[in-house]
Structure 1
Amino acid sequence: MVLRDQQGHAAAAKKPPLWHVLSGAQVFCVTVIISAISPTLATLGVRPPVMSDYLTLEDAIGRTPLVRLQRLPGAELAARGNVLLAKLEGNNPAGSVKDRPAINMIRRAEQRGDIRPGDTLIEATSGNTGIALAMAAAIKGYRMILIMPEDLSIERAQTMKAYGAELILTPKSGGMELARDLAEQMQRDGKGRVLDQFANPDNPAVHYDTTGPELWADTHGRITHFVSAMGTTGTITGVSRFLKEKNPAVRIVGAQPSEGSRIPGIRKWPEAYLPKIYDPSGVDELVYVTQSDAEDMARRLAAEEGLFAGISAAGACWVALQLAQRLENATIAFIVCDRGDRYLSTGVFPA
């Protein structure tokens, strides 16, 4: 039977693919010949990829987005010419601004010869630094012991354990002060080395080297005010030093909890426990935020801006909005130090 096309012409017989008529040996020979004459990456002048062409998880820390709030400022603040910018530190690999000092404290200690992979590291933490250090220890090959008060959110404890860290919980009545004391005692007993985020200059140094320059570059040097929650004070100390070197007129504002308020990540330290890295000369103003205002702002950020932020970050946002109500033509940046999913068990967000 002869196949014909729609015009009645005889259709040419369809040839089978070449590999259907060649034997296995012939296919092998053809493959070898094609491979031999095909241009290689080298002949095209293209260097074959090497391991260093790709980022590691450590390389992915930092360079976080700086985004403009669109709805919370409202028409009144927009009419004043104010811009509110949120730096999304929750975009770091372990989910917080603490990724920066965690990896830097370990990296610098290694460079000085103070520690080496396989050693045991100890740290007192309220959560985010512990998570970041647990990740960094996993990357670098260290045993990590973390000490934290028992009343902090379950998500934080579970995350630390997921990274392989060992966790010691202290009575909530002792707060972070007791956790810090225990860490120092364990170091004296020879059980490991304390990195000590509260006194370690490598903490603020990383914000001077990275966070500050990112804020300056992303605002094209237009930043007029910087707001940060104050816990270990590493972020505000390092960023302040950089920004004020660039422009002494930049105002640095710290968010502190009002009397009786408990806001995770924000502390008013007793004099004996004030972080040694803190430089009060670099902070122009302290603004006090209540726990209820911070929690309400966390809910509003999620519902009105689509920004799922932690409670201390919301406290910093609340302070930034207070500033915007009395300023004109200001560019106000604040740190969103972590994400809201670390606080779901606290009841702050709708169930």
Structure 2
Amino acid sequence: MTVMRPHPHPQPDAVPAPAPVHEHVTDAVKAPDLIRLAPHTVLARFETLKVYAALGAVRTLLERGTITPGQTLVDSSSGIYALALAMACHRYGLRCHIVASTTVDATLRTQLEILGATVDRMPPSQDLRLDQERRVRRVRELLLSRPDMHWMRQYHDAIHYAGYREFADLVTAALPGPELTVVGAVGTGASTAGLVLPLRRRGVSVRLVGLQPFGSVTFGSDRFQDPEAIIAGIGSAIPFGNVRHELYDTLHWIDFRHATAGAVALLRDHAVFAGLSTGAAYLTAAWEAVRHPEQTYLVIGPDTGHRYTERAFARHREIPEARTLKPHQITDLADLVPPWSVMEWRRRRHGEETPS
């Protein structure tokens, strides 16, 4: 990765266009900042990516009459969706109940409470599957006692794709070429599907590169464990209905240390402070760009790096240099190995045999 140095003779800033006055903070934070990292690589840097998902889903449910103002929306979350849903509820006059993962820290929990959300926090657990299963079980208990609640089902309801059409519009305007490689965490599947589907329908040839942690059931790495992993939200220990496996061209599995190396490199090279899934995407895009330099790359950066400061960024002196790292290239899931593997997925469906 090349560190970008300041131009020796800085050019004067262009006269800025008048800034819009937003009616609600969600309008201000939903769209990303687009930052050029290399001649053909652009980062979409979000404060919280899932504002698109929450706003689109809530607005659609209100338009359909499925929910009404004043009703309580409930869902499980490991972090950024919780804040996005609470903000959407604040905007549209709805109540919010979050069943929170153990990864939700005190800062986020306090924000949720002040926004008026009720927070159920699960007991501490190092077992991702146990944490997710507990959260789903708790949501079901709430629905039995409070049938007036509406379960948002961010992991399974494709209504969460809807809001990302706005992101697709932004990408179309900013990167109008006929070909694009999107690099992003798989997670619930909504952000990548919600972006890529409308782009492909518009005739853009989109290559989708997905990121997974070791230990995720989504793309078959659940036989591994990464004891340091805190890359919340990019994988799953239980199947997610919103993941459409057939959309992905290439998969990268990346461990905690490699994701941290990418995040540290992004901050060092470009002064961008972003989360570990962004770091993993930056590392991946840099490697992909060497192999396919003719492509234009869009790196999705779903959140900032604040919640990873102590457990990841503070360890920057012991983390390897990103430019020295490369993946193990495999052709079959049986050959998957930490700390970083890559495989051509070739848009096959879940459970299909590896194409020859």
| Matching of residue 321 in structure 1 with residue 286 in structure 2 | yes
CA shift at 1:345, angstroms? Answer: 4.2
| Matching of residue 299 in structure 1 with residue 271 in structure 2 | no
TM-score normalised by structure 1 residue count:
0.74
Rounded to whole Å, the distance in 1 between the matches of 2:312 and 2:243 is 32
- SS, match of residue 325 in structure 1: helix
Q: What's 1:47 paired with?
A: none
* Amino acid of the structure 2 residue aligned with 1:309: A
CA shift at 1:159, angstroms? Answer: 2.5
1:1-351 equivalences under 5 Å are 55-57=22-24, 58-70=26-38, 83-90=40-47, 96-171=48-123, 172=125, 173=127, 174-190=130-146, 192-207=149-164, 209-247=165-203, 249-258=205-214, 259-261=224-226, 262-270=229-237, 273-349=238-314
* Amino acid of the structure 2 residue aligned with 1:119: Q
Q: CA 1:349 to 1:302, structure 2 compared with 1: closer, same or farther past 3 Å? A: farther
* Amino acid of the structure 2 residue aligned with 1:144: C
* Amino acid of the structure 2 residue aligned with 1:112: R
CA shift at 1:61, angstroms? Answer: 4.9
CA shift at 1:350, angstroms? Answer: 5.9
TM-score normalised by structure 2 residue count:
0.73
Rounded to whole Å, the distance in 1 between the matches of 2:190 and 2:103 is 23
Are the aligned partners of 2:178 and 2:205 in contact in 1 as well (CA < 8 Å)? Answer: no
For residues 139-161 of structure 1, give each alpha carbon's deviation from its aligned partner in whole angstroms, at most 9, with x where no partner exists: 22222111112244333223322
Structure with more helix by fraction: 1
CA shift at 1:316, angstroms? Answer: 1.5
- SS, match of residue 308 in structure 1: coil
Q: CA 1:336 to 1:155, structure 2 compared with 1: closer, same or farther past 3 Å? A: same
Please, which runs of 5 or more residues in structure 2 have no aligned partner? 1-19, 215-223, 317-356
* Amino acid of the structure 2 residue aligned with 1:106: V
Number of positions where the alignment pairs a residue of Structure 1 with one of Structure 2 = 280
For residues 259-304 of structure 1, give each alpha carbon's deviation from its aligned partner in whole angstroms, at most 9, with x where no partner exists: 423243344434xx32212211111111111110111221221222
Stretch of structure 1 that moved more, 179-188 or 291-300: 179-188
Rounded to whole Å, the distance in 1 between the matches of 2:131 and 2:290 is 35
For residues 219-247 of structure 1, give each alpha carbon's deviation from its aligned partner in whole angstroms, at most 9, with x where no partner exists: 12254210111111101111121222234
- SS, match of residue 349 in structure 1: helix
Runs of 4+ in structure 1 deviating by more than 4 angstroms, as ranges, are none
For residues 91-119 of structure 1, give each alpha carbon's deviation from its aligned partner in whole angstroms, at most 9, with x where no partner exists: xxxxx011111112211111111222221
For residues 166-218 of structure 1, give each alpha carbon's deviation from its aligned partner in whole angstroms, at most 9, with x where no partner exists: 111113242223212321331133252211111222211221x2112221221
Rounded to whole Å, the distance in 2 between the matches of 1:146 and 1:238 is 23
For residues 38-96 of structure 1, give each alpha carbon's deviation from its aligned partner in whole angstroms, at most 9, with x where no partner exists: xxxxxxxxxxxxxxx953114335442221115xxxxxxxxxxx621100122xxxxx0
For residues 315-347 of structure 1, give each alpha carbon's deviation from its aligned partner in whole angstroms, at most 9, with x where no partner exists: 111211121121122211111101112333435
Please, which runs of 5 or more residues in structure 1 have no aligned partner? 1-52, 71-81, 91-95
Are the aligned partners of 1:257 and 1:263 in contact in 2 as well (CA < 8 Å)? Answer: no
